[in-house]
Structure 1
Amino acid sequence: MVIAMNRKKGLIAALGLTAFLAIYAFLGFYLLPTLALKKLPALLQEKTGQQAQLSAIRFNPFSFTLAMEGFALAAKDGKNLVGFERLFVDLDALESAKLGGVVLDTIELSNPQFNIERRADGAFNFADIQAKQAEPEPETPDGDSVSLALLIHQIAVKEGRIGWHDAITGQVISENLLPLNLTLSEFSTQAASSAVGDLSLGLESGGNIEWHGDFTIAPLASKGQLKLENIGLARTWQLFLQQILPMEIVNGLLGLQVDYALTEAPHGLLTKVSNGNVDIKQLEITEKNQGKPLLSVPALTVSGISVDVNQQQVGIAAVSSSDAAITAWLQADGIVNYQALFAADASVPAAAQPVAPAVPEESKPWLIKLDELALNNYSIHFTDYSQTKPVELQLSDLNCKLQKFSTQDGGKLPLQLSSKFNNNGGLKVDGEMSLQPFAGSWALDIQDVNLKVFQPYLDPFLKLELVDGDFSGKGNLQLAVAEQLQLTFQGEANLEGLVTRDQVKNKDFLKWANLELAGIDIDLAKQDFKLAKVMFDRPYLRFNIKKDGQTNVDDLMVSRTPIEPAATAKPPAEQAAGKSAEPRVSIGKIELKDGKSDFADYSLILPFVAAMNSLNGEVSGFSSDKDAAAKLALKGKVYDMASVGIKGKYQFDNGDSDIALNFTNMPLPLITPYMAEFAGYRIEKGQMALDLQYTIKQGQLAVQNKLLIDQLTLGEHVENPHAVSLPLHLAIALLKDGDGKINLDFPITGSLEDPKFSIGSLLADVLVNLVTKVAMSPFKALGSLLDDDKDFSAVAFAPGSAELAVEESAKLDQLNKALLSKPKLTLEIKGIAYENLDWPAMRFEAVKDVLKKMKSGELRDKGEKVRHEYIELSDDDYKRLLAKFFGEVFPLEMDRSLLGKPRMKSNPDADFYPLAQQKLEGIFPPDPQRLNDLAIARANHIAQYLADPGGISKDRLYLLATELNNAEAADGIKSVLSLSASQ
Structure 2
Amino acid sequence: MQTPAQWWRSRGWGGRILAILAVLYVLYVLVVGLLLPGWARDQARQRLSELLGRDVTLERVALNPFTLSVTAEGFAVADPRTETLVRFDRLYVNAELWASLFHWRPWVGDVDLNGLRARLRREADGALNVDDILARLRQRAADEPTGPEADGEQEQAGPPAFTVSHFSVEDGSVDLIDAAAEEPLTLTLPVAFVVEDLTTRGVDEDDNRYQLHVEGPDGGSLDWDGRFAFEPLSVDGRLRMDQVDLVSFARLLEPHFRFTVPAGMLALGADYRFSAAPGQGLTVNNGALTLSGLRLRPRDGDEDAVTVPELTVSGAGLDTAGRTVTVPEVTVSDPAARAVLTDQGLDLATLFLPVDPQRAEQTREKVREEARQAEEKLRQGEADWRVRLDRFAVTGAAAVFRDTTLPEARELTLTDGALTVTDFRIDQDGLRWQWEGDTRVLEEGRLGHSGQARLAPLDLKADLKLQGLPLATLSPWVEAALPITVQQGRAGGDLTLTVAGDTPRVTVSGRASVEEGALAENGRRFLSVANLSADGLKVDTGAETVTVDGLAARGLDVLHVIDDQGRGLAARLSGEDDADGSDGGDWRVRLGRVSVNASRIAHRDLTLSPEYQVTVQDWQGRMDGFDSAGGEARVDTRGEVNGTATLTLKGTVDADPLTLDLDGTLKGYGMDTLTPFTSRYLGFGVEKGQLSLQSRVNVKDNRLDSTIDLAADDFYLGERMPSDQAMDVPVKLGLSVLRDGSGMIRLPVSLSGDLSDPDFSVSGVVLRVIRNVLVKAATAPFSMLAGLLGGGDDDLEYVPYGAGEARPREDTREALEKLATILEQRGAITLLLTGQSNADDRRALGEAELVDDLGGDWRGLDMALTSEAGRERILDAYRDRLDRDPESLDADPRERARQAWRQLLEQAAEQVDDDALRRLAERRAEQARDLLTGEFGLAARRVRLESPEVDAEYHGVGLGAEGL
Q: Provide the rounded CA distance (Å) in 2 between the counterparts of 1:829 and 1:351.
A: 98
Tell me the equivalent position of 1:103: 107
Equivalent position amino acid for 1:221 in 2: S
Tell me whether 1:207 sits opposite 2:212 in the alignment: no
Larger deviation, residues 659-668 vs 718-727: 718-727
Q: Provide the rounded CA distance (Å) in 1 between the counterparts of 2:795 and 2:256.
A: 111
Equivalent position amino acid for 1:741 in 2: M
CA apart distance, 1:32: 2.3
Q: Does the CA contact (< 8 Å) of 1:81 and 1:126 recur in 2? A: no
Tell me the equivalent position of 2:163: 151
Tell me the equivalent position of 2:399: 380
C-alpha spacing 1:108/1:517, structure 2 compared with 1 (3 Å) = same
Which of 636, 654, 660 is the aligned partner of 1:633? 636
Equivalent position amino acid for 2:647 in 1: V
Q: Does the CA contact (< 8 Å) of 1:831 and 1:939 recur in 2? A: no
Tell me the equivalent position of 1:620: 624
Tell me the equivalent position of 1:33: 33
Q: Provide the rounded CA distance (Å) in 1 between the counterparts of 2:757 and 2:425.
A: 67
CA apart distance, 1:416: 1.7
Q: Provide the rounded CA distance (Å) in 2 between the counterparts of 1:758 and 1:821.
A: 35
Q: Does the CA contact (< 8 Å) of 1:54 and 1:68 recur in 2? A: no
CA apart distance, 1:54: 5.5
Q: Provide the rounded CA distance (Å) in 2 between the counterparts of 1:136 and 1:687.
A: 114
C-alpha spacing 1:479/1:970, structure 2 compared with 1 (3 Å) = closer
C-alpha spacing 1:760/1:30, structure 2 compared with 1 (3 Å) = same
Equivalent position amino acid for 1:249 in 2: V
Tell me whether 1:263 sits opposite 2:275 in the alignment: yes
Larger deviation, residues 703-712 vs 8-17: 8-17
Which of 414, 420, 423 is the aligned partner of 1:401? 420
Superposed counterparts of 1:479-518, under 5 Å: 479-482=499-502, 484-503=503-522, 506-518=523-535
Tell me the equivalent position of 1:849: none
Which of 778, 781, 785 is the aligned partner of 1:781? 785
CA apart distance, 1:336: 6.4
Larger radius of gyration: 1
Tell me the equivalent position of 2:708: 705
Q: Provide the rounded CA distance (Å) in 1 between the counterparts of 2:771 and 2:169.
A: 116
CA apart distance, 1:370: 0.4
Unaligned runs of 5+ in 1: 1-7, 561-579, 838-925
Superposed counterparts of 1:453-852, under 5 Å: 453-455=473-475, 457-459=477-479, 461-482=481-502, 484-503=503-522, 506-547=523-564, 549-551=566-568, 553-558=570-575, 583-604=587-608, 606-626=610-630, 628-752=631-755, 756-775=759-778, 776-778=780-782, 781=785, 822-827=826-831
Tell me the equivalent position of 1:219: 232
TM-score under structure 1 length normalisation: 0.73
Q: Provide the rounded CA distance (Å) in 1 between the counterparts of 2:619 and 2:451.
A: 42
Equivalent position amino acid for 1:596 in 2: R
Q: Does the CA contact (< 8 Å) of 2:179 and 2:185 recur in 1? A: no
Tell me the equivalent position of 1:180: 192
User: Deviations for 1:383-417, whole angstroms, at most 9, x for unmatched residues?
Assistant: 45566665633333222210111113421110223
Equivalent position amino acid for 1:492 in 2: R
CA apart distance, 1:83: 2.1
What secondary structure sits across from 1:781 in the alignment? helix
Tell me the equivalent position of 2:852: none
Larger deviation, residues 674-683 vs 18-27: 18-27
Superposed counterparts of 1:382-461, under 5 Å: 382-384=401-403, 392-408=411-427, 409-455=429-475, 457-459=477-479, 461=481
What secondary structure sits across from 2:281 in the alignment? strand
Superposed counterparts of 1:56-67, under 5 Å: 57=62, 59=64, 61=66, 64-66=67-69
TM-score under structure 2 length normalisation: 0.75
Q: Provide the rounded CA distance (Å) in 1 between the counterparts of 2:361 and 2:677.
A: 76
Equivalent position amino acid for 1:232 in 2: D
Q: Provide the rounded CA distance (Å) in 2 between the counterparts of 1:752 and 1:451.
A: 39
Tell me whether 1:276 sits opposite 2:287 in the alignment: yes
C-alpha spacing 1:76/1:612, structure 2 compared with 1 (3 Å) = closer
Equivalent position amino acid for 1:34 in 2: L
Q: Provide the rounded CA distance (Å) in 1 between the counterparts of 2:789 and 2:457.
A: 86
Equivalent position amino acid for 1:490 in 2: S
User: Deviations for 1:160-194, whole angstroms, at most 9, x for unmatched residues?
Assistant: 31231515235444444436131413634346774
CA apart distance, 1:667: 0.4
What secondary structure sits across from 2:571 in the alignment? helix
Q: Provide the rounded CA distance (Å) in 1 between the counterparts of 2:756 and 2:454.
A: 54
Larger deviation, residues 930-939 vs 549-558: 930-939
What secondary structure sits across from 1:656 in the alignment? strand
User: Deviations for 1:801-844, whole angstroms, at most 9, x for unmatched residues?
Assistant: 99x9xxx99999998897676443345578999x999xxxxxxx
Q: Does the CA contact (< 8 Å) of 2:471 and 2:489 recur in 1? A: yes
User: Deviations for 1:608-663, whole angstroms, at most 9, x for unmatched residues?
Assistant: 2223322211222211334x012211212222111211111122223232101111
Equivalent position amino acid for 2:320 in 1: V
Equivalent position amino acid for 1:494 in 2: S
Q: Does the CA contact (< 8 Å) of 1:116 and 1:163 recur in 2? A: yes
Q: Provide the rounded CA distance (Å) in 2 between the counterparts of 1:517 and 1:756.
A: 39
Q: Provide the rounded CA distance (Å) in 2 between the counterparts of 1:511 and 1:283.
A: 46
Superposed counterparts of 1:294-313, under 5 Å: 294-313=305-324
Q: Provide the rounded CA distance (Å) in 2 between the counterparts of 1:542 and 1:439.
A: 44
Q: CA RMSD in A?
A: 5.3
Q: Does the CA contact (< 8 Å) of 1:84 and 1:109 recur in 2? A: no
Superposed counterparts of 1:191-202, under 5 Å: 194-202=207-215
Q: Provide the rounded CA distance (Å) in 1 between the counterparts of 2:815 and 2:486.
A: 73
Tell me the equivalent position of 1:251: 263
Which of 313, 327, 332 is the aligned partner of 1:321? 332
Equivalent position amino acid for 1:72 in 2: F
What secondary structure sits across from 1:342 in the alignment? coil
What secondary structure sits across from 2:431 in the alignment? coil
**Larger helix proportion of the pair:** 2
C-alpha spacing 1:731/1:37, structure 2 compared with 1 (3 Å) = same
C-alpha spacing 1:810/1:192, structure 2 compared with 1 (3 Å) = closer
Q: Does the CA contact (< 8 Å) of 1:829 and 1:957 recur in 2? A: no
Q: Provide the rounded CA distance (Å) in 2 between the counterparts of 1:790 and 1:112.
A: 129
Equivalent position amino acid for 2:261 in 1: I
Tell me the equivalent position of 1:566: none
C-alpha spacing 1:603/1:10, structure 2 compared with 1 (3 Å) = same
Tell me the equivalent position of 1:47: 47
Equivalent position amino acid for 2:227 in 1: D
Tell me whether 1:87 sits opposite 2:92 in the alignment: yes
Equivalent position amino acid for 1:285 in 2: L
Q: Provide the rounded CA distance (Å) in 2 between the counterparts of 1:273 and 1:777.
A: 107
Q: Provide the rounded CA distance (Å) in 2 between the counterparts of 1:294 and 1:176.
A: 27
Which of 353, 363, 368 is the aligned partner of 2:387? 368
CA apart distance, 1:978: 5.6
CA apart distance, 1:490: 1.1
CA apart distance, 1:306: 0.6
C-alpha spacing 1:977/1:254, structure 2 compared with 1 (3 Å) = closer
Q: Does the CA contact (< 8 Å) of 2:740 and 2:827 recur in 1? A: no
Q: Does the CA contact (< 8 Å) of 1:175 and 1:203 recur in 2? A: no
Larger deviation, residues 119-128 vs 429-438: 119-128
Q: Provide the rounded CA distance (Å) in 1 between the counterparts of 2:384 and 2:239.
A: 28
C-alpha spacing 1:107/1:126, structure 2 compared with 1 (3 Å) = farther
Q: Provide the rounded CA distance (Å) in 2 between the counterparts of 1:740 and 1:538.
A: 39
